[in-house]
Amino acid sequence: MDLTTDPYASAAAEARAGLLGKIVAGGGLTDPAWRAAFEEVPRHLFVPYYYEAGGAGGEGGARGTAAYTRLWRDDRDPLRRARWLAGAYADAPLATRLRDGELISSSSQPSLMARMLHALQVRDGDSAMEIGAGSGYNAALIAHRLGDAHVTTLDLDPEITEAARNHLAAAGFRPAVVTGDGARGCPARAPYDRIIATCAVPSVPLAWLGQCRPGALILAPLATGLVVLRVTDARHAEGRFLATPAYFVPLRGSGPPPPVPTHGLPSRPLLDDSFRFLLNVAAGHMEPVEALALWEHEGRPGHERYGVTVRGERQWAWLDEPEGAYAWPLGPAVAGA
């Protein structure tokens, strides 16, 4: 779509300003370069349609799953078109692709995207790889900041990469869009200064470390949190989790996350993000009642007190210190690790 002929350009600019104001009011986008990216990249071009859960007989539902309603840019109903545009600039995640009733791709919540991009600490001239192309919107924001030539976005699904490529071109961006296994990265365009994953991983693929320059940062969703690792070399990295909780679609090919047992637990701590995080990070290595006792004994620690260490084939999550009293092996390792 030519931006000069976009029929939604004026209304979208107003909606985008409103979204930007909410993110800034929440303490985000303190970096002028990222603020400019959110001001200028039109999110609606990346979500020509998306799905809302609920509604009888909606499109995209499947037997045994909730129905979905599709909102579409070219809907004949002007009220539904207005609803689509408002949703495109809401501070909320958007389900963009379903298969057999299962969500396989989405556009993340913009305020969370802003926090993640800020945590990348990018510098002019950095080369970045994104794992999980999604709609292409996040890649566009990164390309706005670093330039097309410095950005690679990767996804296993050719339908997703084709759509992302088209959306990016419509918005005037042309980073490298690669179809491939995210766990294996993209060695052809390495080395990278920054890697950001927009899908959850059970452990950190060693292939990513091997494609990083020494001192690079990797940001990835893991165990309902966001870990930021500083890479030492191809087999060593370490870092802590950000304070914010995060829930992402799993990396394709990594398998479903392990079940998190909750038997014997009172309902109140299960409503706490920090306790659910501990249950996830220690899944398979700690009984739920034991986890509750640890959480309460340690003062109900938040995400930022946890970290991850990678030492070759061995990697683990920990509370407070890498060699401290509380540590849990991560895995199983995804393909490419």
Q: Is 127 a catalytic site residue?
A: no
For tokens 């759509």, name the residue. Answer: 163
From the candidates 10, 105, 108, 111, which is the catalytic residue?
105
**Structure tokens belonging to residue 3:** 């931006």
Angle, in degrees to the nearest 10, between helices 158-170 and 137-146: 50
Distances (CA, A) of 296 to 228, 266, 272, 305: 26, 13, 12, 14
**Structure tokens belonging to residue 71:** 């909102």
Q: Are 179 and 71 in contact (CB under 8 A)?
A: no
Alpha helices in 26-157 (DSSP H): 32-40, 78-88, 110-119, 137-146
DSSP 328: E
Q: Burial of 31 by CB count in 10 Å (0-12 exposed, 13-18 middle, 19+ buried)?
A: middle
Q: Are 288 and 279 in contact (CB under 8 A)?
A: yes
How many residues comprise the chain?
337
Q: Where are the beta strands (DSSP E) in the chain?
A: 49-53, 68-72, 94-99, 102-107, 128-131, 151-155, 176-179, 192-197, 212-222, 225-233, 236-241, 306-311, 314-319, 327-329
d(CA 210, CA 41): 32
Which residues does the annotation mark as catalytic? 105
